[in-house]
Amino acid sequence: MNCGTKCVQYLFFAFNFLFFALGIAVLGVGIYSRIETDTWKELINEDTYMQAANLLIAAGVIVAILGFFGCCGACKRWNWMLVLYAIMVIVIFILEIAGGIYAYTKRDTIQKSLETQLKEGINQNYGQAGTAAEGMTKAIDAFQKQAKCCGSTGPGNWKTSKWYTKNSRSGDWVPDSCCKTITKDCGKNQAANSDKIHNLGCVVQGKQYAKDNLWLIGGVGVGIAVVQLLGIIFSLLLCKAYRADEKPSSA
């Protein structure tokens, strides 16, 4: 094996070790996104977030496995494995691009669904009896904590909600999840402009939160796609180099 082939082999091995590590990182981002959105999934009718996060998890697992196979193909000099590696990476690359486009085109639908569900959940379902209402209550509390918001358009929305009138509350009162530092009954006697609660509404904050999460998923997807393209090029170059080494040299 000549010096040039060895260099390509070592570079390909190092590249695929990085590929393996990136696969693990993508898997971690996918799991994080899945856990974060799962706590308030009742607020979104569309499955776009879950689908994008699940796609990221699947891509992370497959990319990590491909990185491992790429290292084996480089060490063992198996051309068939390198060709199969390149084909599989191309297929995954296409699927990831399709998934990214799908998530991007659905962004307005997600935001509209979030806005509608937030308003209805705050006004009608929060703090009410029943499994569905209890799930919505947990989702709204989780979302207010994560997005650092209070009410649909602001803390004042809570005065018109069924939650507020159910127990004959009076004065300024918001759920504890609106508080910057959460303690029991911390939302009691808190005016809308209080510096102890979040003053921005969840519709505005929710749009930004949704946008940030889509950019996170999309950004990681673009990064891994660039690495995948380099992997395809390296694998084909290494396969060509191995075949050249196998040809008998002229006398």
What is the rounded (10 degree) CA torsion for 229, 232, 238, 243? Answer: -150
3-state secondary structure of 1: coil
CATH class of the domain at 109-204: mainly alpha
More confident position, 36 or 77 = 77
Confidence of residue 179 (pLDDT cuts 50, 70, 90): very high
Q: Which residues contact 5 (CB under 8 A, 6 or more apart)?
A: 238, 241, 242, 244, 245
Angle at CA of residue 147, ends 153 and 36, nearest 5°:
135
Residue pair 190/196 in contact (Cβ under 8 Å)? The answer is yes
Q: What is the DSSP string of 90-108?
A: HHHHHHHHHHHHHHHHTHH
Over residues 213-227, the pLDDT tens digits come to 666 666 666 776 777
The confidence score (pLDDT) of residue 178 equals 94
The string of pLDDT tens digits covering residues 104-140 is 777 677 777 777 888 888 888 888 888 778 888 888 8
Q: What is the mean pLDDT of residues 78-87?
A: 78
Does the structure show a pLDDT above 70 at 151?
yes
Q: What mean pLDDT is predicted for residues 169-194? A: 86
Q: How confident is the model at residue 43 (pLDDT cuts 50, 70, 90)?
A: low
| Cα 159 to chain centroid, rounded | 34
Which residue has better confidence, 85 or 168? 85
pLDDT of residue 233: 80
> Would you say the C-alpha torsion 118, 120, 126, 132 has a positive or negative sign?
negative
Which has more confidence, 8 or 90? Answer: 90
Q: Which residue has the higher pLDDT, 185 or 53?
A: 185
Phi, psi at residue 120, to the nearest 5°? Answer: -65, -40
What tokens appear for 245 in the block? 């080494």
